[in-house]
Structure 1
Amino acid sequence: MIGYYIHHHGQGHRARAKSICSALTTPVTALTSAPQPDAECFADVVCLVRDDDGDTAENPTANGVLHWAPALDRGLASRMGQVVHWIDTVRPSLLVVDVSVEVTVLARLLGVPVVVVAMPGDRTDPAHHLGYQLAEHILAAWPQEMYDPLWLREFADKTTFVGGISRFDGRPSDDGPSAGRPRVLVLSGTGGSNLSMDDIRLCANQHRGYRWQALGVPGAPWVDDPWPQLRTADVVVSHAGQNAVADVAAAGRPAIIIPQPRPFGEQHATAAALAANELAVSVPRWPSLTEWPHLIEAATTVGGHRWPRWQTAGAAGRAAAVIDSLAKRIEASR
């Protein structure tokens, strides 16, 4: 049995877990306080209590050694107790952690080898370094030739760059943009954004030569399967979350990437890599109204033909192969 810890912020970690676990041959249990993931790719789901519901957080970084371990927090104690109980009962061969330094440390203290999913950005702080040191293996969900951060090179001997993991890998892509006014699709996620439908309406009123559509923006529809909209967009405007970027790459659409503020500069690092490798246009913030025609033209010029370099094809399968291989090797050594 493999355990898979899924962080509850946003939907990206869940989507990535589902893609990877659907390709695993070893049974896997999900451990998460996120809304219950789709059960078909998991043998079991352990619903963890939240560790961030308290009114105050006393010394949450444990003097700078960890990221989130507030002292005397009952939610944290109960949550970690659930993980300990599961490990003691099931005796898993491996735990995949996406993402939590604290769960990584706990599992390794209990003798369970851990596969850590790396994140972009500046991960040189003591907590991240500790997690990567403890990891049996590290998975990076982007192509090494596109983004090879210095801080990860210390662990090169145990890191596999699998490419961008998209839930749409393998989906038919026969559809394309229709004739008429070019369509601009604006995507937002659940991880937090300062974008609103007022911003989209201002663009639509100012630039009537384009058809504007928004998904996931507060006040706009939420679509569980945006693949048809992605495939038929002339230009996609998206944040720089790993799953969003991988989905745009799988669709092969011209893109304008606008990174959102995240800890450790995660999205800004991804956006910079995309721009440097001419996969997409990137701007640091939501553009002014006058900037849009130039940006849309620039994105159209860049096009979508370089997106295969983000290596979404088969990425989840490559990650699963690494995990399965490690689990079988560890199980055989017991």
Structure 2
Amino acid sequence: MIGWYVHHHGHGHVARFLAVQPHLRTPVVVFSSMRRPAALASEVEWVELPTDADGFEDRDGVLRDPRDADPTVRGHLHWAPHGHPGHRARLAAIAAASVTRELQAFVVDVSAEVVAFARLLGLRTVAVTQPGARTDTPHALAYALADRIVAPWAHGAVPATGLSAHGDRVLWTGGISRYDGRTPDGAREPRSLLILGRVIDDDVREQVTALLRAHGWEVTAVGHDAASRVDDPWPLLSRSTVVLSAAGQNSVADLAAAGARAVVIAQERPFCEQDHTADALERWGLARRADASTSAAELVALVEAASEDSPDWARWQVSGGAGRMAAAVEAMLP
């Protein structure tokens, strides 16, 4: 059996697992603080872990903030707060399952501490990495300990200096999208913009919408709040003339799967992950780049310019990416 750790921040890590899992032939058990996704196959076991980021009572009954409990171990780890019962219970659940489920390999998406812990348990360990300047001590430790490192983007697209010393263990799968192989849902509608997710402030979105509609565009915004969420944005993604999206790994892979003309907005993330990705997309001519400081008028100009683009998304290597990651994981099994 394969163990798989899914980080709870955002939806990208679980989306990647949901894309890869159907390609696995080996049973898998997932560990995460997230609730079980509704779309997950019923045969996949999901272990919900306690949180380790909330306040906790110490032995004297004093409420403590984990940020004040030396969580980085003087910069050697990212998160391991002293005395936090949730943190201890998380690792205990993984250790217990490694015995009771007879785990043979463990995928970590993402956590330097879980990589180290899984390897200390003697498990063949696959670390999923992300773009950005990940040259800090915890990332260096995780990369050094992992038996395999998966980089889910096209080789050469995004610089990854932290991986340079581990090239023989790195697999560049290309982008991983849940939409890989899905056919477009009809022809592209002329002069139509899809704003995907909460990528710009509400007032900027309203200004962009008004300006584009004045130019004869149709504008659809989904995912920026609970009321606007849709279960399956693929029809909109594949039919829109231009998509305005974040520059996260899963968002970009979905754009590539749809062959979309795009404007990507680099959102603030640790290690400048989205800035590095957005720079790469602009450099390769795959998307127009913007950021939080880009005005509504500038975004409108970028959207109209992007409508004339012909991006060669094949360069992002999404086709078969999920299958390549699944094969790499199962290749670790004894």
**TM-score in same-fold range (> 0.5):** yes
Choose which of 78, 90, 102 in structure 1 pairs with 2:113.
102
SS of residue in 2 equivalent to 1:22: helix
In the aligned structure 2, how far is the partner of 1:292 from the partner of 1:270? 18
In the aligned structure 1, how far is the partner of 2:161 from the partner of 2:120? 28
CA deviation after TM superposition for structure 1 residue 35, in Å: 1.7
Q: Which deviations, in whole Å up to 9, do the C-alpha atoms of 1:191-245 show, x marking residues without a partner? A: xx6x333322222223322222111113651012100000111111111110011
CA deviation after TM superposition for structure 1 residue 133, in Å: 0.4
- AA in 2 matched with 1:316: A
SS of residue in 2 equivalent to 1:186: strand
In the aligned structure 2, how far is the partner of 1:174 from the partner of 1:77? 47
In the aligned structure 2, how far is the partner of 1:74 from the partner of 1:50? 9
- The list of structure 1 runs, each at least 4 consecutive aligned residues, that deviate by more than 6 angstroms after superposition, is none
Would the aligned equivalents of 1:187 and 1:237 in 2 still touch at CA under 8 Å? Answer: yes
Q: Match for residue 256 of structure 1?
A: 263
In the aligned structure 2, how far is the partner of 1:287 from the partner of 1:184? 17
Q: Match for residue 187 of structure 1?
A: 196
In the aligned structure 1, how far is the partner of 2:211 from the partner of 2:23? 46
Q: Match for residue 56 of structure 1?
A: 65
CA deviation after TM superposition for structure 1 residue 97, in Å: 0.3
In the aligned structure 1, how far is the partner of 2:202 from the partner of 2:120? 47
Q: Match for residue 220 of structure 2?
A: 213
Would the aligned equivalents of 1:39 and 1:45 in 2 still touch at CA under 8 Å? Answer: no
Q: Match for residue 320 of structure 2?
A: 314
Q: Match for residue 296 of structure 1?
A: 303
Would the aligned equivalents of 2:184 and 2:239 in 1 still touch at CA under 8 Å? Answer: no
Change (3 A) 1:174 1:214: closer
In the aligned structure 2, how far is the partner of 1:253 from the partner of 1:294? 17
CA deviation after TM superposition for structure 1 residue 137, in Å: 0.2
Choose which of 181, 189, 192 in structure 2 pairs with 1:170.
181
CA deviation after TM superposition for structure 1 residue 184, in Å: 1.1
TM-score, normalised via structure 1 length: 0.92
Would the aligned equivalents of 1:235 and 1:255 in 2 still touch at CA under 8 Å? Answer: yes
CA deviation after TM superposition for structure 1 residue 42, in Å: 5.0
Would the aligned equivalents of 2:33 and 2:51 in 1 still touch at CA under 8 Å? Answer: yes
Would the aligned equivalents of 2:208 and 2:297 in 1 still touch at CA under 8 Å? Answer: no
In the aligned structure 2, how far is the partner of 1:294 from the partner of 1:242? 25
Matched, 1:12 2:17: no
CA deviation after TM superposition for structure 1 residue 297, in Å: 2.8
Q: Which deviations, in whole Å up to 9, do the C-alpha atoms of 1:262-283 show, x marking residues without a partner? A: 0111111111111111111112
Aligned runs of 1:142-291 on 2, under 5 Å?
A: 142-173=153-184, 175-179=186-190, 182-188=191-197, 195-207=200-212, 208-209=214-215, 210-218=217-225, 221-291=228-298
Matched pairs, number: 321
State the identity as a percent: 40
Would the aligned equivalents of 2:263 and 2:302 in 1 still touch at CA under 8 Å? Answer: yes
In the aligned structure 1, how far is the partner of 2:264 from the partner of 2:13? 20
Q: Which deviations, in whole Å up to 9, do the C-alpha atoms of 1:78-105 show, x marking residues without a partner? A: 1111111111222211000000111111
CA deviation after TM superposition for structure 1 residue 294, in Å: 2.3
- AA in 1 matched with 2:121: L
Would the aligned equivalents of 2:193 and 2:220 in 1 still touch at CA under 8 Å? Answer: yes
TM-score, normalised via structure 2 length: 0.92
Change (3 A) 1:43 1:248: same
SS of residue in 1 equivalent to 2:308: helix
- AA in 2 matched with 1:200: R
Q: Which deviations, in whole Å up to 9, do the C-alpha atoms of 1:139-172 show, x marking residues without a partner? A: 1100103224222121100111000000001111
- AA in 1 matched with 2:127: V
Would the aligned equivalents of 2:290 and 2:299 in 1 still touch at CA under 8 Å? Answer: no
